[in-house]
């Protein structure tokens, strides 16, 4: 029979509020992390990346925080807009692994309420 | 337009049909990938090509057959598929040199097997 898919976590926020999307990774040796955004009907798009020698990196309206102690990655979106509604994926490359083998998380659906 | 073009965007095929998905990248990247995206599941890596050579086959059934004639083009040949193969098939490319490991994805082919 058909296998049961994973339930996609959903974050619902009001337009103008800040959003925080979280991701837990499993490999303590992971060296490089990326956040992707996937809108309906499109492929994932690169948002921001961070290396393991950094704790924080900022882009335009987005900030990525890395806590290696607890193996946690977060994406903060300031002043969330309706166009930010999408599924957000974190991805990692394990240190010493194939440099082109990204491991993706399940994803979080961000729903922005007007 | 992300620089990675996939055709067709939508495909409906019977279980006895043979079809091919096409991917073309205009970014000068040297690695290309096929991913399968099913509802509420993480992206599943299927195949990896580096400099036209297949470097990973992630236990994909033989009814999926990849082909990479050059660094810019990637195909996925399909035959005797099952309904559970219905999914979004995403192509991606990346450049391994220069310390940039992010993928650029195409918009995907939405495949329905009937």
pLDDT digits (tens, 9 = 90+) for A59-89: 999 999 999 999 999 999 999 999 999 999 9
Closest CA to B81 of B20, B21, B22, B18: B18
What does the pLDDT look like over B83-99, one tens digit per residue? 999 999 999 998 865 45
pLDDT value for B62: 94
pLDDT value for B97: 54
Chain A residue set in contact with B, beta carbons under 8 Å: 2, 5-8, 32, 34, 36, 41-46, 49, 89, 93, 98-102, 104-107
> Which residues of chain B neighbour A106 with C-beta distances below 8 Å?
40-42
- Count how many residues are written for chain A: 114
Q: Which residues of chain A have pLDDT under 50?
A: 1-6
Number of C-alpha atoms within 13 angstroms, CB side, residue B101? 21
pLDDT value for A100: 63
Interface contact flag, B42 A93, Cβ < 8 Å: no
> Which residues of chain A neighbour B107 with C-beta distances below 8 Å?
41-43
What does the pLDDT look like over B6-44, one tens digit per residue? 999 999 999 999 999 999 999 999 899 999 999 867 888
CB-nearest to A93 from B38, B39, B101 is B101
Tell me if B102 sits within 8 A of B85, measured CB to CB: no
pLDDT value for B88: 96
- Nearest chain A alpha carbon to B91: A43
Interface contact flag, B107 A42, Cβ < 8 Å: yes
Cβ count within 10 A of residue B104: 20
Mean pLDDT of all residues belonging to chain B? 90
CA distances from A112 to A20, A46, A85, A98, B1 (A): 12, 20, 6, 36, 25
pLDDT value for B59: 85
Residues 6+ away with beta carbon under 8 Å from B103: A44, A46, A102, B33, B92, B93, B94
What does the pLDDT look like over B37-74, one tens digit per residue? 998 678 888 998 988 788 777 789 999 999 999 989 99
* Phi/psi at A82 (5° precision): -55, -35
CB-nearest to A104 from B4, B42, B96 is B42
């Amino acid at each position: 029979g058909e296998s049961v898919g994973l339930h996609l976590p959903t974050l619902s926020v009001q337009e103008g509020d800040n959003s925080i999307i979280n991701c837990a990774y499993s490999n303590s040796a992971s060296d490089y992390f990326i956040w992707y955004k996937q809108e309906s009907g499109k492929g994932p798009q690169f948002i921001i990346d961070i290396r393991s020698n950094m704790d924080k990196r900022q882009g335009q309206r987005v900030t990525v925080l890395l806590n290696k102690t607890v193996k946690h990655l977060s994406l903060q979106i300031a002043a969330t807009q309706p166009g930010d509604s999408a599924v957000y994926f974190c991805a990692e490359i394990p240190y010493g692994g194939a440099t082109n083998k990204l491991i993706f998380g399940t994803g979080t659906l961000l729903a922005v309420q007007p | 337009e992300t620089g990675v073009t996939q055709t067709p965007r939508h495909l409906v095929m019977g279980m006895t049909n043979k079809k091919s998905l096409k991917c073309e990248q205009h970014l000068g990247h040297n690695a290309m990938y096929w991913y399968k995206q099913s509802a509420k599941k993480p992206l599943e890596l299927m195949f990896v090509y580096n400099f036209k050579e297949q470097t990973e086959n992630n236990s994909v059934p033989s009814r999926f057959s990849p082909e990479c004639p050059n660094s810019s083009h990637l195909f996925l040949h399909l035959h005797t598929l099952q309904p559970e193969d219905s999914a979004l098939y995403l192509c991606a490319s990346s450049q391994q040199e220069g310390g940039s490991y992010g993928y650029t994805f195409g918009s995907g082919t939405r495949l329905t097997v009937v």
